[in-house]
């Protein structure tokens, strides 16, 4: 089994959505099962946790990074249980 991981990052209107779609199509054609780790900042801010709601920006960044790493670990764990020969994990940052 081959598991690869890439990160796509960018601000508003940077082309991330288009890039994610391209990655999905291109790597599926190469025989990969493509998994997407959702953007943690969007989840947090949508849930009311943001740099301006936490004590400091550093505290916010620490909790965001903790969740991001845990999500990536769980996606890798799930990928290892799949019956796919090649898996690409795409982290949306």
For residue 1, the model assigns a pLDDT of 87
For residue 10, the model assigns a pLDDT of 85
pLDDT digits over 14-47, tens only?
888 899 999 999 999 999 999 999 999 999 999 9
Burial class (CB in 10 A: 0-12, 13-18, 19+), 85: exposed
Q: How does residue 11 score in pLDDT terms, banded at 50, 70 and 90? A: confident
pTM of the full structure = 0.89
**Average pLDDT, whole number, for the chain?**
94
């Amino acid at each position: 089994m081959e598991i690869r991981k890439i990160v796509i990052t960018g601000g508003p209107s940077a082309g991330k959505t288009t890039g994610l779609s391209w990655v999905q199509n291109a790597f599926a054609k190469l025989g990969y099962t493509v998994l997407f780790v959702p953007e943690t900042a969007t989840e947090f801010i949508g849930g009311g946790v943001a740099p301006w709601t936490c004590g400091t920006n550093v505290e916010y960044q620490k909790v965001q990074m903790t969740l991001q790493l845990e999500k990536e670990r769980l996606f890798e764990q799930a990928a290892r249980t799949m019956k796919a020969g090649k898996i690409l994990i795409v982290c949306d940052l």
